[in-house]
């Protein structure tokens, strides 16, 4: 199982160092990733979250709320969209047959329009609650403008499934290999989920999405920047569940040698796994003597 790490457009939140812990000052904007995965499987290419898409880049004001455009100011570069990075890797975007979504926030689902032929997988409660648009914040974060492919969505009951590494109600995806699992991680949203990918043998990548935001939250003595702590509080739907899942993720990260846990927005984690700067798009290996897609740069994959 080959996994490519894609940063599908960084966000640049207000607060600088108070947000990312890396920026030199508070006056500058910070830097957060939109960490997505492209997985080569026997069922075709599978995209785990989409980040922002081409339409977001072309006309962000029609797609994303003014509130979040001002707050996180995405670095809209077309070359960083999932579809353009997939092309740079040498693939045809039409080979993306499935998209697996952690949740429907605007920065995770903006690229759905770029893959109209793909089947989209997510938890039913996430879809239903996002469609209801109950609160002002729901209308800012869940953007129907990005959901032109909703007729091809395949939803799953969060009450079903097996146990995996201390998490319950874990399921396989219909039509996908058993090496990909959806792990309910309620808290950030009611239908928020993590995605586990078995890369080889007993080795797993576990994309915890927005279950936490800063790598130090997975330390034995957890820490989060003040800005990201506030951001998580502002968007949470179930505080008790969010903290409970963070605790389980921390235990897994600290005790398991077989599971690599990471979140969607931490630059340190992205650069550790992708082995390239977060502002650099994925690229195909220079060696063209091998068969198509047979040899990819180690910068871009986890085997």
Mean pLDDT by 10 residues, the chain (303 residues): 96 92 88 97 95 98 97 97 97 97 98 97 98 97 97 92 94 96 98 96 95 98 96 98 98 96 98 96 63 36 40
Beta bridge partners of 203: 200
**Three-class SS of residue 200?**
strand
- Residue 291 in domain: no
- Residue 211 in domain: yes
> In this structure, is the dihedral angle defined by the CA atoms of residues 81, 83, 87 and 90, taken in order, positive or negative?
positive
Q: Which two tokens stand for residue 154?
A: 């395949």
Domain tally for the chain?
1
pLDDT at 82: 98
- Residue 300 in domain: no
- Residue 171 in domain: yes
Burial of 218 (0-12, 13-18, 19+ CB in 10 A): buried
- Residue 290 in domain: no
Rg (CA), the chain: 18
pLDDT at 294: 34
- Residue 302 in domain: no
pLDDT at 285: 65
Domain holding 213, by residue range, is: 2-283
3-state secondary structure string across 223-235: CCCHHHHHHHHHH
- Residue 293 in domain: no
pLDDT at 1: 83
pLDDT at 26: 83
Return d(Cα 228, Cα 5) in angstroms, integer: 23
Q: Which two tokens stand for residue 234?
A: 């502002």
- Residue 266 in domain: yes
Running DSSP on this structure, what letter comes out for residue 11? B
pLDDT at 303: 37
Residue 225 belongs to domain with CATH number:
3.60.15.10
pTM confidence score: 0.92
> In this structure, is the dihedral angle defined by the CA atoms of residues 30, 187, 247 and 198, taken in order, positive or negative?
negative
């Amino acid at each position: 199982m080959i996994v490519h790490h894609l940063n599908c457009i960084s966000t640049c939140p207000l607060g600088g160092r108070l947000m990312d812990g890396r920026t030199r000052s508070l006056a500058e904007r910070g830097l957060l990733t939109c960490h997505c995965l492209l997985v080569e499987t026997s069922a075709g290419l599978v995209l785990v979250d989409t980040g922002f898409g081409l339409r977001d880049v072309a006309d962000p004001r029609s797609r994303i709320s003014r509130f979040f455009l001002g707050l996180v100011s995405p670095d809209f570069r077309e070359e960083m969209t999932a579809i353009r990075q997939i092309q740079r890797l040498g693939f045809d975007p039409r080979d993306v047959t499935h998209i697996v979504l952690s949740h429907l926030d605007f920065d995770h689902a903006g690229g759905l329009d770029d893959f109209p032929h793909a089947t989209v997988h997510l938890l039913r409660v996430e879809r239903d609650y996002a469609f209801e648009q109950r609160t002002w914040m729901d209308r800012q974060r869940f953007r129907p403008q990005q959901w032109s492919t909703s007729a091809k969505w395949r939803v799953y009951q969060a009450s079903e499934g097996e146990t995996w590494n201390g998490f319950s109600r874990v399921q396989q995806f219909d039509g996908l290999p058993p090496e990909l699992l959806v792990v309910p991680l309620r808290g950030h949203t009611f239908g928020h989920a993590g995605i586990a990918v078995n890369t080889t043998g007993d080795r797993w990548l576990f994309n915890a999405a927005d279950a936490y935001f800063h790598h130090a939250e997975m330390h034995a003595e957890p820490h989060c920047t003040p800005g990201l702590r506030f951001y998580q509080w502002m968007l949470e739907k179930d505080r008790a569940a969010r903290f409970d899942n963070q605790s389980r993720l921390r235990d897994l990260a600290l005790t398991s040698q077989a599971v690599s846990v990471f979140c969607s927005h931490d630059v340190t984690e992205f650069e550790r796994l992708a082995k390239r700067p977060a502002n650099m798009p994925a690229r195909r290996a220079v060696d063209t003597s091998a068969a198509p897609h047979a040899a990819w740069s180690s910068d871009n994959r986890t085997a």
